[in-house]
């Protein structure tokens, strides 16, 4: 009908022009959807934001804060169904080019979820948004359940293994090791040794390695004989293992009976004016004891354990005390088979309503929960 009307109004020349224009529009409509994913795939995947309270953290392409889930293993996600509704994964198209701005060191990658969608990872940790964040700059998901944390651009962070527990990983998400032949602050690994066990380095002695909560107090550097500066944790120089290929690999564990993954210090001490000294976890969050527990035996499960998450370690991990902290540290096996840390035989727990290090809102709850005195 349109062609007929135009033909009457302006003749065959007008009709030919309209047909050419219609063909061009149709070509654009058909071609643009085909090229759109390629354009989107080249966009920045993550960006960097910061605030005075939290410091630097990662945000998605929409500017919203990104988080990691400590129950995830490197290169895997365990957040589906209701969890994924509350913590939507950061997704990209398959084959997307992952890019990050200056200042975000480490490795961006993707993992395939069980629903077939591709989720972005940073240093092996899957990235998520939090449904209760409403605007760019919101960080209300920090410390939720003591298992959700801001995704931070870090030199040093944590991996997790069912047997080995939490262990140190570098900016590339790869496992870090200690060498028992080293002395505190002094490396004995050079030449062929350093080819197989590349030291973790920083640019200069002025660069302070960034680290997640609970690690920074123990992180420093030492000068190697070649003039380079190697990162140390509790005095131990840190190394990668050449045969580890992807984040989550721990093939260097116990090599030659002198190389081992390095677990973070399990228990630390903190204090405030009201309560004095009390025990915290490696993340510096306050730990509590439950008066209904028996020595070496937890009575907190199901809904109780949701509100008071137990402090857990790997089945082969030996929990440790920070320097200067005394007392008896051990583990007890829970009914679900997981190993819970004990201090002076009392099982230890976090409190879900504590939000940041230093919070002690669980003190005297129900007259059965109390901070643990060192």
**Contact in structure between 350 and 286 (CB atoms under 8 Å):** yes
Render pLDDT for 174-224 as a digit per residue (tens, 0 to 9). Answer: 899 999 999 999 999 999 999 999 999 987 777 777 776 567 668 899 999
d(CA 171, CA 107): 7
d(CA 153, CA 156): 9
pLDDT higher than 50, residue 28:
no
Percent of the chain's residues with pLDDT above 90: 58
CA 11, distance to chain mean position in Å, is 69
d(CA 17, CA 20): 5
pLDDT higher than 90, residue 88:
yes
Mean per-residue pLDDT, 281-290: 91
Q: For residue 104, what pLDDT is reported?
A: 73
DSSP for residue 45? S
| Least confident piece of the model among 28-32, 148-152, 254-258, 339-343 | 28-32
Q: Which helix (H) or strand (E) holds 260?
A: strand 259-261
Q: Which helix (H) or strand (E) holds 306?
A: helix 303-307
pLDDT higher than 70, residue 138:
yes
| Least confident piece of the model among 150-154, 273-277, 294-298 | 150-154
Mean per-residue pLDDT, 128-133: 97
Q: For residue 35, what pLDDT is reported?
A: 35
Q: For residue 1, what pLDDT is reported?
A: 44
Mean per-residue pLDDT, 157-172: 85
- Categorize the per-residue pLDDT at 159 as very low, low, confident or very high, splitting at 50, 70 and 90: confident
**Contact in structure between 339 and 166 (CB atoms under 8 Å):** no
Q: For residue 40, what pLDDT is reported?
A: 43
- Least Cα distance to 153 among 190, 191, 102 occurs for 102
Mean per-residue pLDDT, 331-347: 96
Mean per-residue pLDDT, 303-326: 93
C-beta pairs of 157-161 under 8 Å, 24+ apart in sequence: 157/123, 157/125, 157/211, 157/212, 157/215, 158/70, 158/212, 158/215, 158/264, 159/73, 159/74, 159/124, 159/247, 159/248, 160/70, 160/72, 160/73, 160/74, 160/314, 161/73, 161/248, 161/250, 161/261, 161/314
Q: For residue 232, what pLDDT is reported?
A: 94
Q: For residue 181, what pLDDT is reported?
A: 97
d(CA 306, CA 328): 26
Residue extents of the structural domains in the chain: 1-39, 47-150, 157-261, 268-371
Render pLDDT for 238-274 as a digit per residue (tens, 0 to 9). Answer: 999 999 998 889 999 999 999 999 998 899 999 999 9
Mean pLDDT estimate for the chain: 85
- Least Cα distance to 305 among 368, 359, 351 occurs for 351
Go through 279-297 and write b for each residue having 16 or more CB atoms within 10 A of its CB, e for each that does not: bbbbbbbbbbbbeebeeee
Q: What region does 257 belong to: left with phi over 0, alpha with psi -120 to 50, or beta?
A: left
């Amino acid at each position: 009908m349109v062609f007929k009307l135009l033909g009457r109004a302006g003749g065959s020349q007008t009709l030919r022009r309209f047909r050419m224009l219609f063909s061009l529009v149709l070509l654009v409509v058909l071609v643009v959807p085909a090229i759109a994913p390629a354009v989107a795939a080249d966009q920045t995947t993550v960006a960097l934001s910061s605030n005075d309270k939290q410091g630097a953290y990662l945000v998605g392409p929409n500017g919203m804060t990104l988080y990691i889930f400590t129950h995830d293993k490197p290169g895997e996600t365990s957040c589906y169904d209701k969890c994924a509704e509350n913590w939507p994964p950061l997704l990209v198209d398959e084959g997307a080019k992952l890019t990050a701005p200056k200042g975000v060191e480490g490795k961006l990658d993707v993992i395939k979820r069980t629903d077939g969608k591709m989720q972005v990872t940073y240093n092996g940790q899957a990235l998520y948004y939090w449904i209760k964040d409403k605007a760019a700059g919101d960080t209300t998901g920090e410390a939720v359940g003591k298992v959700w944390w801001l995704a931070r651009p870090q030199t040093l962070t944590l991996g997790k293994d069912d047997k080995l527990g939490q262990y140190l990983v570098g900016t590339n998400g790869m496992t870090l090791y200690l060498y028992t032949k080293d002395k505190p602050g002094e490396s004995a690994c050079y030449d062929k040794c350093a080819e197989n066990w590349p030291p973790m380095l920083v640019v200069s002695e002025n660069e302070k390695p960034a680290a997640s909560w609970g690690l920074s107090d123990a992180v420093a550097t030492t000068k190697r004989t070649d003039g380079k500066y190697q990162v140390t944790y509790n005095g131990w120089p840190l190394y990668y293992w050449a045969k580890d290929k992807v984040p989550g690999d721990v093939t260097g564990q116990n090599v030659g009976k002198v190389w081992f993954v390095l677990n973070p210090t399990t228990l630390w001490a903190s204090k405030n004016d009201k309560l004095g000294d009390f025990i915290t976890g490696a993340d510096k969050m306050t730990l509590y004891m439950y008066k209904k527990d028996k020595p070496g035996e937890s009575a907190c499960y199901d809904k109780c354990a949701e509100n008071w998450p137990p402090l857990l370690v790997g089945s082969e991990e030996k929990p440790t005390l920070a320097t200067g902290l005394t007392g008896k540290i051990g583990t007890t096996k829970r009914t679900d088979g997981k190993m819970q840390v004990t201090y002076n035989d009392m099982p230890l727990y976090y409190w879900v309503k504590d939000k940041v290090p230093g919070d002690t809102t669980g003190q005297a709850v129900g007259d059965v929960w109390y901070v643990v005195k060192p």
